[in-house]
Every structure is written in C-alpha cells, then in structure tokens.
Structure 1
Amino acid sequence: MTIMAKKKKQKKRGSREHGRGKKAGRGAGLRGGRGNANPNGSRKLTTFEEKGTDYFGGHGFNRPPEVVEETVTMNVGDLLDEVDDLAEEGFVDEEGDTMVVDLEAAGIDKLLGAGRVHKTYEVRVPQTTDKAHDKIEANGGSIEVTEPDEDASDGEESSND
C-alpha cells in the first residue's frame, strides 16, 4: 500500500515561517494586501455581488455651510406655548378670541403640523404644510401664506467697471 504524501500546508505546521523566511512572512504582502486591496479585483468582485456596485467610491458632495440656508420651523402645537413670548416681542395681536400671529416677522420660515391647536389663530407665515393648514382652519382660524423674502443682493445686477 502506498503512503499518501503530506500536503505542504500540513508539513509546515509547527514551523514559524512556513518556508518563507523571517522577512517575507511578515506584513500584508504575505496575504495579498489588506482589506479589499487586490490588483486582480477578486475581493472586489465578491463585494460587488454582496453590496452592489455603488459600494466603492465617493457619491455626491456636501454643500458649503455658508451657502446652505437653514429653514426655521415651528409646530402648530408649539404656538400656544410660544404665544406669550411672541406677544412680548410684538408679533401677536388679540382680536376678540382670535390671536393674530405674524411668524414671518418673528423670523419663522415654516409652520409644521405636529401637535394640537387649542385656540383660534390667524397666522402670517412664508411656508406651511398641508397638515398645519388643515389644523388651523379646522379650529376656525386662517393662514396667510406670504412670499419668502429674497435677499436684495439676488435681485440687483452688479456692474464691474
């Protein structure tokens, strides 16, 4: 009966360098690079199969913070809490049971629909959601949607002489 020869992997068990020498046995070159590094792309192919082709590379860009305009919002549920503060600053007038609130002058850009409406409001605001509009009107109030103020510099033409 012939004896089967041991495989190389089994032969090298117990030896420190597995026949590579001290230096060659160190580092990522021993295993074909770290992570997904491989000139032949065999590791990338498996990643494509698992995660799709959009996994590698950058996508899109971030706009500079000085260009991005943040929208200041308020929920209809917060109107009752904020009415006293807004009245002190002169943004609220009372006409009988109705509170006339000028959110545009208060610096609020959009009225959102979260919360409950407990009083009758007439609100001036540049933008509103449908839900907020419905809640205010269901309680007997009204919303006047104004055009958002554009910067004066946008409308002017500059001449470079």
Structure 2
Amino acid sequence: MIRKRRKITRMRGSRTVGGGCSKKRRGAGHRGGRGQAGGHKHHWSWIVKYDPKHFGKYGFKKPQKLIKRPETVNLAYLDEKIPELLESGVAVEENGMIVIDVTELGFEKILGSGRLTRPVHVKAYEFSESAAEKIEEAGGMAEIIE
C-alpha cells in the first residue's frame, strides 16, 4: 500500500514515534544484537529457516598454482618492436617475411590487439582467434609450436 503521508509526519508529537516502549529503541539490545549476532545461540531458529547454508564450506576452489596463466603479448607490441628484434637476432628475415619465435622473448600466447603493417611469420604456443586472423590478413603465418 502506498501512503500519501509519511508515517513520521503523523507521529510527530508522540513520545516514542511508533517504537513501543522508549527503552526498546536504545542500542541493539531489543533486537538481540547487531548483524549476525547470536547465530549459534538465540537466533538459531532464524538461521535454520532463512539461511540454512550459512555455516560450512561448499564447492571446490582450485589451487592457484594449478591455474594456467600464459604470458601474453599483443600484435601492436610485436609490430612496434620488429626493428629491435631484427637487430638483436631474435627475429630473422626470410623470403621477404619476418620470422619471430615469441617463446624466445618469454611469451606463450599472442593476442589480437593492434594491427600488423607487414607480413610476419609468428611462432607461439597459442593464438587468439583475432590474432591469427590479423596475421593472415597482413600476409603472414601463425604457426603453433607443440
């Protein structure tokens, strides 16, 4: 039901403003503590009825050391670093195409952010779909290393 007037405006002038005995409104004593207080004691029946799964453990959490998080690199970074990689010998130019093995740089997966300005033959353990598409659009090759 929607009230036209707020309850507090009708209660102005009354001693307890609808709160029963004035002592009941002090602190959290009348409600049996704040928050989850008494969950194992005087609020147990509330827990059983409204929050039966409150206590205990549920499910399984995979150990963090077993979660595989590959080192990633974007196409924009590779395109920017090609001259430096050619100088250092990590990248080699063969038949008009630059060959880069990103595992030598410490990366495992190629992501598709950015674009390539020249044909590049990239070797990596994994490629995102967009990265593989962009490499082939630029006239290069995406080779998966086993």
Structure 2 equivalent of residue 130 of structure 1:
129
Aligned to 1:146: 145
Match of 1:116, SS? coil
Q: CA deviation at 1:134?
A: 1.0
Is the deviation greater in 83-92 or in 120-129?
Answer: 83-92
* Code of the aligned partner of 1:98: M
Q: Matched residue of 1:140: which SS?
A: coil
**Who is 1:75 aligned against?**
74
Which residue number corresponds to residue 16 of structure 2?
Answer: none
Report the residue type matching 2:33 in the other structure: G
Count of residue pairs the alignment pairs up: 122
Task: Say which SS state the counterpart of residue 85 (structure 2) adopts.
Answer: helix
Query: Is it true that 1:39 corresponds to 2:41 in the alignment?
Result: no
- How big is each residue's C-alpha offset from its partner over 1:105-146, in whole Å with a ceiling of 9 and x where there is no partner? 222100111111111101111111121111111111111100
* TM-score, normalised relative to structure 2: 0.64
Gaps of 5+ in 2: 1-18
Give yes or no for contact 1:75–1:114 (8 Å, CA) kept in 2. Answer: yes
- Aligned mates of 1:125, 1:102 — CA distance in 2: 6
The share of aligned pairs that are identical, in percent, is: 29
Q: CA RMSD in A?
A: 3.4
Q: CA 1:64/1:42 → structure 2, altered by over 3 Å: closer, same or farther?
A: closer
**Distance of 1:81 and 1:136 partners within structure 2:** 14
Specify whether residues 40 and 64 from structure 1 end up closer, same or farther in structure 2 by C-alpha distance, changes over 3 A only: same
CA distance in 2, matches of 1:75, 1:82: 11
